[in-house]
């Protein structure tokens, strides 16, 4: 009888990776939700309240707020409301748990949709379980996992114009910044994807307008302008806000923030014109958060997407990005870590794109 070859440690670890990944992510999320107390579904409860107000014949928007981050503030576009309107018919507690289940499903769908090796997908699940931005998204009931799913589908459908356009449009309907993916389609001359995105976005905008009326868009725009100060918004991690929190003069901090945004725009435009499609697309995904006047810590969940691509291309160091904002470092992570993490990933994606053959335009 032939001897059974010994099982190598590396092979054993690879086989255990899916189990470890599921255990870690379930334990991390379950533990965080169990101890959340009154903060469970902090953001979702604002969505729920907005939907309940609509059902009561009132405005979705509460104009008493002056800064982002306050409990109960809903400052998403009217096109977001069709998604949350059914939850407004439910008890807030029941709705919160159903919403969290939806986010968990969206995360699973996002990982499944990523066009990377299966082993990389399991690494992403494991890293998500160790990542504070992901776990915090689940606790808050924030839309991060839904955006992650939209970006993952757009990535998978880069060469399928209708699919890409619809995915980009849904992201823009939920939260305006993903709409810049349609700018990527424009710069890379993907006319059918751009057309599909414009049509899909028009339908979603119409759906939101039917709920709030045209005035809802003006109310939303006014509220957004009032609460989105990139410098003084509490817990904001934009470079300007970080400098201001360190005592830098507000004028200087504001100038840095403007320069930051302009530089990001320049970098991604160059990426769209010079880099192969997947690299320039991922640069735009990163930029959706970097051009926002608000950069909260949980926005870094989006970085799981370019991290997956870098891992798939053999860059194991990319695991350090989600580990730098680990669940175990909560309370010790300075705000500057988040913009630095975004910049590092953007630079890595740009550099990797330069090494790849292939045209930038479709």
DSSP 53-68: HHHTTS-S--TT--ST
Per-residue pLDDT for 11 more than 80? no
Domain assignment present for residue 332? The answer is yes
**For 350-362, what is the mean pLDDT?**
78
Domain assignment present for residue 362? The answer is no
Domain assignment present for residue 273? The answer is yes
Are residues 201 and 308 in contact, defined by beta-carbon separation less than 8 angstroms? no
Residue 38, domain extent: 11-355
Distance of CA 99 to the CA centre of its chain: 17
Residue 262: what pLDDT? 96
Are residues 301 and 343 in contact, defined by beta-carbon separation less than 8 angstroms? no
Q: What is the pLDDT of residues 240-281, one digit of tens each?
A: 999 999 999 999 999 999 999 999 999 999 999 999 999 999
Specify the pTM. Answer: 0.92
Give the number of C-alpha atoms closer than 13 A to the C-alpha of residue 98, restricted to the C-beta side.
13
Q: Which of 1, 67, 59 is nearest to 230 (CA)?
A: 67
Distance of CA 50 to the CA centre of its chain: 22
Element (H, E) at 340: helix 337-355
Residue 12: what pLDDT? 59
Domain assignment present for residue 106? The answer is yes
Q: What is the pLDDT of residues 21-54, one digit of tens each?
A: 999 999 999 999 999 998 999 999 999 999 999 9
pLDDT over 90, % of the chain: 81
Per-residue pLDDT for 8 more than 90? no
Q: What is the pLDDT of residues 52-90, one digit of tens each?
A: 999 999 999 988 877 776 777 888 999 999 999 999 999
Give the separation between CA 148 and CA 41, rounded to whole angstroms.
18
Burial class (CB in 10 A: 0-12, 13-18, 19+), 318: buried
Tokens 């950069």 map to which residue?
295
CA dihedral sign of residues 98, 104, 106, 112: negative
Domain assignment present for residue 98? The answer is yes
Give the separation between CA 311 and CA 116, rounded to whole angstroms.
9
Domain assignment present for residue 115? The answer is yes
pLDDT band at 357 (very low <50, low <70, confident <90, very high): confident
- Count the domains in the chain: 1
Burial class (CB in 10 A: 0-12, 13-18, 19+), 215: exposed
Domain assignment present for residue 297? The answer is yes
Per-residue pLDDT for 295 more than 80? yes
Give the separation between CA 168 and CA 164, rounded to whole angstroms.
6
* Alpha helical stretches, state H, 35-117: 44-55, 81-84, 92-113
* Residue 116, both tokens: 């990377």
Instruction: Kindly report the average pLDDT of the chain as a whole number.
Output: 92
Domain assignment present for residue 82? The answer is yes
């Amino acid at each position: 009888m032939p001897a059974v070859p010994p099982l190598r440690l590396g092979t054993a670890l690879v086989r255990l990776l899916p189990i470890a990944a599921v255990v870690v992510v379930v334990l991390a999320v379950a533990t965080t939700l169990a101890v959340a107390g009154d903060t469970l579904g902090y953001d979702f409860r604002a969505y729920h309240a907005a939907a309940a107000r609509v059902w009561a014949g009132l405005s979705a928007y509460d104009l008493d707020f002056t800064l982002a981050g306050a409990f109960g503030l809903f400052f998403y576009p009217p096109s977001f409301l069709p998604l949350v309107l059914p939850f407004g018919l439910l008890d807030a507690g029941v709705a919160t748990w159903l919403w969290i289940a939806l986010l968990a499903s969206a995360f699973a769908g996002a990982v499944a949709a990523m066009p990377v090796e299966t082993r990389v997908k399991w690494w992403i699940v494991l890293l998500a379980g160790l990542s504070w931005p992901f776990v915090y998204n689940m606790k808050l009931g924030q839309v991060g996992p839904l955006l992650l799913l939209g970006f993952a589908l757009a990535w998978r459908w880069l060469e399928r114009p209708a699919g890409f356009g619809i995915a980009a449009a849904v992201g823009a309907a939920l939260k305006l910044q993903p709409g810049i993916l349609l700018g990527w389609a424009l710069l890379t001359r993907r006319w059918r994807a751009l057309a599909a995105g414009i049509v899909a976005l028009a339908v979603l905008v119409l759906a939101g307008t039917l709920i709030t009326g045209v005035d809802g868009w003006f109310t939303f725009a006014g509220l957004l302008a009032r609460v989105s100060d990139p410098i003084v918004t509490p817990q904001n991690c934009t470079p300007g806000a970080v400098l201001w929190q360190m005592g830098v003069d507000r004028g200087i901090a504001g100038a840095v923030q403007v320069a930051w945004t302009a530089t990001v725009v320049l970098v991604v435009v160059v990426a769209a014109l010079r880099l192969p499609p997947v690299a320039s697309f991922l640069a735009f995904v990163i930029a959706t958060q970097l051009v926002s006047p608000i950069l909260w810590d949980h926005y870094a969940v989006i970085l799981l997407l370019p991290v997956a691509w870098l891992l798939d291309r053999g860059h194991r160091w990319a695991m350090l990005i989600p580990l730098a904002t680990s669940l175990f470092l909560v309370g010790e992570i300075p705000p500057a870590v988040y913009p630095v993490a975004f910049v590092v990933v953007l630079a890595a994606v740009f550099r990797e794109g330069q090494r790849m053959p292939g045209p930038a335009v479709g």
